[in-house]
Amino acid sequence: MKSEWLSRAMDLRLFRIRPAEAYPIVLERRRIFVLPTRSGLLFAFTLFAMLLASINYTLSLGYALTFLLAGVGVTSTFHAYRNLLGIEVSGGHGTPAHVGDMVGFEFSLNEKARRDRFAISVINSEETVVTDLPASSTLHVRLTCRAIRRGPLDAGRIVIETHFPLGLVRAWSVFTPDHTVIVYPAIEREAPSPPRGGEDHDGESSASEGSDDFAGLRGHRDTDSPRQMAWKAIARTDTLISKSFTASAGQQLDLRWFDLPDTLDTEARLSRLTRWVVDAAAQAREYTLTLPDQSIGPGHDATHRDRCLAALALFGMSAHS
């Protein structure tokens, strides 16, 4: 936490970076910084040694070579700075994901100065993308980071840098875009089938399987009733196996927060409801999601699914935005 605070303070003081900047973001002169790399420092030390030797031995050719190489170093600094100057960063869209998955943030790099840009690196906390930017073109860059909690996820601190052309200096710019993606709750891996609308559910009974159509065999769960046990298969394999049943396709699902077992905490309830929403949407089933603070549906299309997942992601948060 202390290192993150220090990094943000340095951004604000040294790089004039606001907490969140609206697109488009233009890399102007005051936003680009240049410092020597390790190779650049070694190059400068070598030039200094050559200068001392030339002075000590009065070498005219030594002076010429030293100042020629120094001119190359200064020129490379100018080209590195110019390689970033004027690039415009505009926002694309983010790829929503579930907790534990990789979230994608897309950016567009726009070149409007009619010159090629080489070896441009776009960096976030977990990934580096290196690319060239042709003259008068737009390039789409996608950065990813792992989602560790549900809710809004900001793109965070982004660095654009280059070591072009000789690697002697590093030119870079730092910005924090106003770019947010919603992270949905994690999907429960072994969730029971959802209850059907119109039935009376209480506690664990909401976790029971439908009983209309036989869907196949699966691993045994603690919530399975004895009638679901596949006794013949258990006798053959010596492994606990249960029968899986599904409700009829036309039956509307009623996914209710209050029908979940009291043993589940908030995040576990959200994970189970997320599993049911995802499965119902994949099967084009009509369903309603009922949370303590709102009810969504009925519906079955992708828009309805996204509304339900967003409501689950923002559940319990002060600002639903």
**164 and 256 housed in the same domain:** no
What pLDDT score does 207 carry? 39
Q: Is residue 85 part of a domain?
A: yes
**261 and 153 housed in the same domain:** no
pTM above 0.75, yes or no: no
**151 and 296 housed in the same domain:** no
274's CB contacts (< 8 A; 6+ apart) are 98, 184, 185, 186, 187, 188, 309, 312
What pLDDT score does 218 carry? 66
What pLDDT score does 37 carry? 95
Question: How is the chain split among helix, strand and coil, in percent rounded to 5?
Answer: 35, 30, 35
**208 and 166 housed in the same domain:** no
In angstroms, how far is CA 58 from the centroid of its own chain? 60
* Amino acid, single-letter form, for residue 77: T
Beta bridge partners of 120: 131
What pLDDT score does 205 carry? 40
The kind and range of the H/E element at 82 are helix 60-84
What pLDDT score does 316 carry? 87
CA distance 169 to 123: 17
What pLDDT score does 221 carry? 62
What pLDDT score does 27 carry? 94
What pLDDT score does 206 carry? 39
What pLDDT score does 213 carry? 56
**17 and 140 housed in the same domain:** yes
Q: Which domain holds residue 140?
A: 2-184
**277 and 179 housed in the same domain:** no
What pLDDT score does 210 carry? 43
Q: Is residue 65 part of a domain?
A: yes
Beta bridge partners of 104: 95, 144
What pLDDT score does 266 carry? 93
**179 and 251 housed in the same domain:** no
Angle at 183 between CA 204 and CA 259, to 5 degrees: 15
Query: What total of structural domains would you count in the chain?
Result: 2
**130 and 276 housed in the same domain:** no
CA distance 31 to 280: 49
Q: Is residue 221 part of a domain?
A: no
What CATH number is given to the structural domain containing 63?
2.60.40.10
**84 and 177 housed in the same domain:** yes
Q: Is residue 318 part of a domain?
A: no
**110 and 51 housed in the same domain:** yes
**Average pLDDT by consecutive 10-residue portion of the chain (321 residues)?**
55 60 91 95 96 94 96 96 96 85 92 94 93 94 92 92 96 92 91 64 41 59 62 71 59 87 92 92 88 88 92 80 43
What pLDDT score does 209 carry? 43
**24 and 144 housed in the same domain:** yes
The kind and range of the H/E element at 108 are strand 102-110
